[in-house]
Structures are given as structure tokens and as C-alpha cells.
């Protein structure tokens, strides 16, 4: 198949993929992709970062507003360019082929594999609540000044990645049905925690939470640090466009699903945190490794906490499933355009799923699952992802200026101000994370830049038709 330049406004007349995802399946993908393990775990990381319950809530609210601004941006681009690959297509059209390629390269080697490995690590963290033996260190060591611990959870997480990747080899219609079912379970889990906490949880003494009297540089730095896990928990609104070529009536359903899904998630997150801080003292939350499970255990005992932990673990698996589902379409779209490894464009003859891209992502993610802990993985993920969030916002500005007559079934609400807020937040989070975790961030940047020579190598092979 000769590679041609991507024409995302008009996907190929004959696509090897199938339009099998309706509005509810698309909304379920957004919700299920966003609600993974984060809301059940990261409030403790945020509490340690800011030292104040009020600032934890501020981080959740600010993060929600930022991603809502981003949702408007991605809704416009997704409706205008409903092709496989999502931001790969948007950046290629808006900023040029190199930027689209670098997004796809980053997504294929960092964003999606790291997200997959992080969700698998989160699943094993839930499993560790039920079976502490899986978190027992097998050995420890250090490289330079970096200390690492290898536990049974890491190879188990790699196995989980492989298993979920294998499930995604099945048809996209089945994948959509699985997501609807798992989304109901996710929402039901959070609603159960909220309602049970209000009805049976005992409020703690309020003097435990320290308060902040002024907004200094230290407070701002802590708030930015707390936004990193919050953004990990909110991540997912941006992934629906990756399966744009498989959504029914994408011009209408992509914006509706993104905005409806994100508003649902934001409301559930705030309600869950109200219950967390109502029942457990601030110091306990800051020290907890399983916040939601500890909250439930405080009023429902070990058995109740165990059942909800199982539900939360299944929620993490659901998020992993949808990350694999959406993520594989990016290297597939690149390979179809001739700028990625050719095997990634292979399609299963019966299931019509991108088997080559799925196997590639699963292999990289399994290796990453062996390499790091939950916090280290999502920090690397957020740094890589938010660089391209900023570039996607820039692509929207450039497309508005250079292609004013482009068909836009949905126009971003509040543009240019909402897009500017999203852009500014993406830059601030990226710079702050670089300062806090320079080694991991530098690794991420090196991987991204490592794609530049490969882009020009592949470009020479497909000729000027890519440009």
C-alpha cells in the first residue's frame, strides 16, 4: 500500500476499520478511560504535595476546569477530523507532518505504553490491599543515586498488560460493549463510596487538617505538584479522537461524548473527595496507600473494603482496556501513512482490529511495567502528554487562522480564552514537572526527540506525498 498524506477531514473511502461505536459507547470510552485507578489512590499524593485539604480540593477544581477547556479544544478538532489517530491527525494538519509524527512517536513509546503500565501497576496496588504478599520486595538495588525496588507486583503487572492487549484483538463492537458495562461499574463504585460514606461514615475531628494562610511561591509550587496526579486522574478526555474512524456520526458524537463524559467524571471526583476528607483525618489520607479502600474500611470493615477494592481493581482494568483500544489506532494510522514500522498497519482478517499496533504497544508497555513504581510512571506520562496538549492547542489556533473556511461541526466554547487557559496550564505543568523530576522528564524528552531522525528517514521512503 503506497503511503499518502493523511487527509483527516475525509477519512479513506474504504477503511479497514469498522464504525461500530455509537454515542453511549463513545461516552463510555471517555468515562472509562478517565476513571481508572487515579481517583481511588492519588488524593494521598496530592495531600503530601500541598499539606492542606483546601488546596487538595483547589487542585481538583483547577484541574477539572483546565481539562474542560482542553475538552472544548479536542471536541472541535475531533469533529473536524474524524480519522484514526486523533492528535496525530490534528497536529499533522495544523502544525505540519513532523509534529504529528512526534506526537505519534511519543504516544507509541511513552504516552500509551506508560499509561498501560501505570494502570496495571495501579491494579496491582489494589491487589496488594487484598493480598499484601504481591507488594513484598524481592530485591532492592541502586544505579547511581537512583534506588529501585523490584517486587512481585511488577512481573504481575506485565502479565496483566499482555492479557488485556490480547482481549483487544477482538472486534471494536465487542470492545465498545465491554466499555459500557465497565463504565456502569466504575460509576456505581464511586456512587457507592459516596452514598455509604454519607450514610454510615463517621466524620473525624476537623482540627487535623493544616490550613494555608497566604499564597506564596511554595504554595504555588505545591499546587502545581498536586496537579500532576490530578491530571493523571483526569486524563482520558483527549483519547476519543483516536478512534474517530470507528465512531458512528463522529461530527456530532465526538463533541457530545467528550464533554458529557468529562462533566460526569469531574462531579464524581469532587463527591468522592468530599467523603474521603470527611471521614479520614488529613494526616491519615496523606499517609495512605489505598485512600478509597481505607475510607470504606473505616465504616464497612475489612469485608466491605475488600469488595470495593475488587470493584476498583476492575475499574483499573477497564481503563487499561480502553487505553489499549484507543492507543493502538495511533501507530496504525502512522504506519498506514508510511511513517511507522510497516507491521503496525496489519489488520486482523476477521475481527478488523489493528493487530500489529496492538502487539507493539503491549510489548513496550509490558517492559515498562517491569521498570518502575506507580508514582514514577504517571509522572513520566504527564510530562510527555502535556507537551503535546500544548501543541494541540497551538494547532487549533493555527487552523482557525489558516483555514477559516474549514468545516467545523463543533466550535470550541470560549475560544480563544479557553484554549489559552489550556495552553498556559500545559506549559506551566510541563516546566514544573521538569524542575521536580528532571531525570524522568529528560528521559521523556530524549525519547521524543529521538523520533526526529526516524521521521526524515521514513519521509525519504514515501517521498514528497507525505508533505
Q: Is the predicted pLDDT of residue 266 greater than 50, yes or no?
A: yes
List the chain domain ranges: 23-465
pLDDT score at 267:
93
What is the distance, to the nearest Å, from the Cα of residue 425 to the centroid of all Cα atoms in its chain? 17
Q: How far apart are CA 245 and CA 124, in angstroms?
A: 33
Identify the bridge partners of residue 148 per DSSP, sorted by sequence position: 141
To the question of pTM greater than 0.75 for the whole model, the response is yes
248 neighbors 72 (Cβ within 8 angstroms): no
Mean pLDDT of 415-432: 90
Q: Which of 239, 298, 256 has its CA nearest to residue 116?
A: 239
Mean pLDDT of 415-423: 95
pLDDT in tens, 345-376: 999 888 888 999 999 999 999 988 887 555 55
> Which CATH number does 23-465 carry?
1.20.1740.10
pLDDT in tens, 189-239: 889 889 988 888 888 755 444 555 455 666 777 787 788 788 878 888 888
pLDDT score at 203:
84
pLDDT score at 99:
95
Average pLDDT score over the chain: 83
Other CB atoms within 10 A of residue 442 CB = 12
More confident residue, 64 or 136: 64
Q: Is the predicted pLDDT of residue 436 greater than 80, yes or no?
A: no
More confident residue, 384 or 69: 69
pLDDT in tens, 105-121: 988 988 888 888 888 88
Angle at which helices 374-402 and 217-234 cross, to 10°: 90
Amino acid at each position: 500500500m503506497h503511503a499518502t498524506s493523511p487527509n483527516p477531514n475525509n477519512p479513506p473511502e474504504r477503511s479497514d476499520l469498522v464504525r461500530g461505536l455509537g454515542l453511549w459507547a463513545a461516552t463510555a470510552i471517555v468515562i472509562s478511560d478517565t476513571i481508572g485507578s487515579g481517583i481511588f489512590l492519588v488524593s494521598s499524593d496530592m495531600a503530601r504535595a500541598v499539606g492542606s485539604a483546601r488546596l487538595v480540593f483547589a487542585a481538583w477544581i483547577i484541574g477539572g476546569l483546565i481539562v474542560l477547556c482542553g475538552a472544548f479544544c479536542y471536541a472541535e478538532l475531533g469533529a473536524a477530523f474524524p480519522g484514526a489517530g486523533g492528535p496525530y491527525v490534528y497536529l499533522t494538519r495544523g502544525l505540519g507532518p513532523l509534529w504529528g509524527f512526534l506526537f505519534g512517536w511519543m504516544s507509541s513509546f511513552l504516552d500509551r505504553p506508560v499509561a498501560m503500565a501505570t494502570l496495571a501497576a495501579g491494579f496491582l496496588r489494589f491487589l496488594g490491599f487484598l493480598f499484601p504478599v504481591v507488594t513484598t520486595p524481592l530485591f532492592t538495588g541502586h544505579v547511581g543515586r537512583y534506588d529501585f525496588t523490584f517486587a512481585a507486583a511488577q512481573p504481575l503487572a506485565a502479565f496483566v498488560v499482555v492479557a488485556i492487549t490480547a482481549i483487544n484483538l477482538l472486534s471494536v463492537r465487542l470492545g465498545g460493549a465491554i466499555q459500557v458495562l465497565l463504565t456502569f461499574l466504575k460509576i456505581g463504585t464511586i456512587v457507592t463510596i459516596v452514598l455509604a460514606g454519607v450514610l454510615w461514615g463517621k466524620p473525624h475531628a476537623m482540627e487535623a487538617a493544616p490550613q494555608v494562610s497566604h499564597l506564596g511561591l511554595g504554595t504555588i509550587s505545591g499546587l502545581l505538584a498536586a496537579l500532576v496526579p490530578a491530571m493523571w486522574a483526569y486524563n482520558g478526555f483527549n483519547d476519543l479522537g483516536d478512534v474517530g474512524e470507528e465512531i458512528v456520526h463522529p461530527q456530532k458524537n465526538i463533541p457530545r461524548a467528550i464533554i458529557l463524559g468529562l462533566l460526569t467524571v469531574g462531579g464524581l471526583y469532587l463527591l468522592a473527595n468530599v467523603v474521603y476528607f470527611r471521614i479520614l483525618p488529613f494526616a491519615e489520607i496523606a499517609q495512605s496507600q489505598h485512600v478509597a479502600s481505607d475510607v470504606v474500611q473505616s465504616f464497612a470493615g475489612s469485608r466491605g473494603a475488600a469488595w470495593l477494592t475488587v470493584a476498583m481493581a476492575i475499574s483499573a482494568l477497564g481503563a487499561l482496556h480502553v487505553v489499549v483500544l484507543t492507543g493502538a489506532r495511533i501507530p496504525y494510522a502512522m504506519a498506514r501513512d508510511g511513517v511507522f514500522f510497516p507491521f503496525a498497519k496489519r489488520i486482523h482478517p476477521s475481527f478488523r482490529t489493528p493487530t500489529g499496533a496492538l502487539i507493539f504497544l503491549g510489548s513496550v508497555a509490558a517492559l515498562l511495567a517491569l521498570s518502575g513504581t506507580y508514582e514514577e510512571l504517571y509522572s513520566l506520562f504527564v510530562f510527555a502528554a502535556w507537551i503535546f496538549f500544548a501543541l494541540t492547542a497551538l494547532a487549533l489556533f493555527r487552523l482557525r487562522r489558516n483555514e477559516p473556511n474549514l468545516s467545523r461541526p463543533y466550535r470550541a466554547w470560549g475560544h480563544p480564552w479557553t484554549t489559552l487557559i489550556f495552553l498556559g496550564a500545559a506549559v506551566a505543568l510541563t516546566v514544573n514537572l521538569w524542575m521536580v523530576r528532571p531525570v524522568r522528564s529528560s528521559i521523556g524528552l530524549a525519547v521524543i526527540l529521538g523520533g526526529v531522525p526516524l521521521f526524515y528517514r521514513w519521509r525519504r521512503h514515501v517521498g514528497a506525498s507525505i508533505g
